[in-house]
Structure 1
Amino acid sequence: MIATSTVVMFALMYLNTYAWDHVHWSETRVYMTLIMGAAMAVVMMGFMWKMYADKKLNYVVLGGAAVVFALALWLVRSQSTVGDRSYMMAMIPHHSIAILTSERAGIEDVRVRKLADGIIAAQRREISEMEWLIEDIEANGPAISEAEARTRPVPEFGPQPQASVTGGPESKAD
């Protein structure tokens, strides 16, 4: 039950992503999901302690949850397993959430709207840049020196067309 709920929580964390093509595997989200699953196991055991006759098994579940929690917390805080590609794969949905929030919030103050529009433009540009970098690194490997990076410059990404939640182009009246 806890494992199933944990998998469901992982999937649910992507529901606030702006466009489906911004949904990417994220180690960081896996670690956060494991933290939530471990915490849920402790809470559930607290409420259901008397339901299980084998108290040793209850302690095993609590101990396992504590180990998973501690390990996942260390992994999410240290980012020790996250490299170039993993970093960008996690940041794309993160940026997408900023687009969704900035675009759909009921903003009335023109200054806040200007700020939100700037965030939208920056996040779209950065998503395009990250997608390009992922492809370039997959094709050519990482550019490990400034000289190598100069031979593979990142293109300038201008204003991006708006995408709907299904990932297709969408027009927006000003």
Structure 2
Amino acid sequence: MEAHKQHTDQVQHRQDDHSMTHGQHYGKLAIMAVLSFISMYVLMYAMVDTFANVVPNVNQFYMAGLMTMPMIIIEVLLMSAMYSDKRRNAIIIAVSALALTGFFWLIRQQTAVSDRQFVKSMIPHHAGAILMAKEAKLNDPELRKLSEEIIKSQEAEISQMKAKLEELDRK
């Protein structure tokens, strides 16, 4: 009788450990999603030519969200052995798919992009064009001339946008 009780207790203990382990996986998934979002937000600035042109903006937020949602869906689908709660998985996938659609819609509609956010979004965008034009190893003379024009025009526009941003900040 005692041996049966001990065996039952061991089975229950293993089930509790298994349940706890899978619960921890979902917690780690949430942490991974947050860290991925932050990483993607920061990495969106990899194309900026100088740190002075790193300007946080709502469009970068939307893009980081847009890129994070498929990562969550792919993780849950490919690592199904770790995420064995089918109901929870379905909810996570559905919410992530809705969020992906939402972020896509927000960026395409430019939701919450005011005058300030427009300028803040355009500065890093133009800075990316400058980086490409400066660093591209171009052979074609017309393209080299075009890249020089891009650098001049984009730098001038960034200066204009920074001045406008200061003006908007004073209002």
Q: Same fold (TM over 0.5)?
A: yes
Provide the residue aligned with 1:35 in structure 2.
66
What is the aligned partner in structure 2 of residue 55 from structure 1?
A: 86
Alpha-carbon distance in structure 2 between the residues aligned to 1:86 and 1:98: 19
- C-alpha contact (below 8 Å) 2:59/2:107 kept by paired residues: yes
Runs of 4+ in 1 over 3 A off after TM superposition: none
Secondary structure of 1:49's match?
Answer: coil
Amino acid at match of 2:54: V
**Post-superposition shift, 1:80?**
2.0
Displacement of 1:72 after TM fit? 0.7
1:26-75 CA-partner distances (Å, limit 9, x unpaired): 21111111111001111111101232232111111101101211111110
Structure number with bigger Rg: 2
Per residue, is there more helix in 1 or in 2?
2
2:147 aligned with 1:112: no
Matches of 2:163 and 2:98, distance apart in 1: 38
One-letter code aligned to 2:157? E
Q: Which structure 1 segments of 5+ residues have no match?
A: 142-174
Give identity over the alignment, percent.
33
Q: Give 1:83 shift.
A: 0.6
| Cα contact 2:76–2:83 (8 A) shared by 1 | no
User: Does structure 1 residue 126 correspond to structure 2 residue 157?
Assistant: yes
Q: Which runs of 5+ in 2 are unaligned?
A: 1-31
Report the AA paired with residue 160 of structure 2: E
Per the normalisation by structure 1, the TM-score is 0.78
* 1:158 paired residue number: none
Out of 85, 93, 98, the residue aligned to residue 67 of structure 1 is 98
Aligned-residue Cα RMSD (Å) equals 1.0
Q: Aligned to 1:51, what secondary structure does the other structure show?
A: coil
TM-score normalised over the length of structure 2: 0.79
Q: Residue in 2 aligned with 1:101? A: 132
What one-letter code is carried by the residue in structure 1 that aligns with 2:159?
S
CA distance in 2, matches of 1:53, 1:79: 38
Map of 2:123 onto structure 1: 92
Question: Is the partner of 2:35 in helix, strand or coil?
Answer: helix
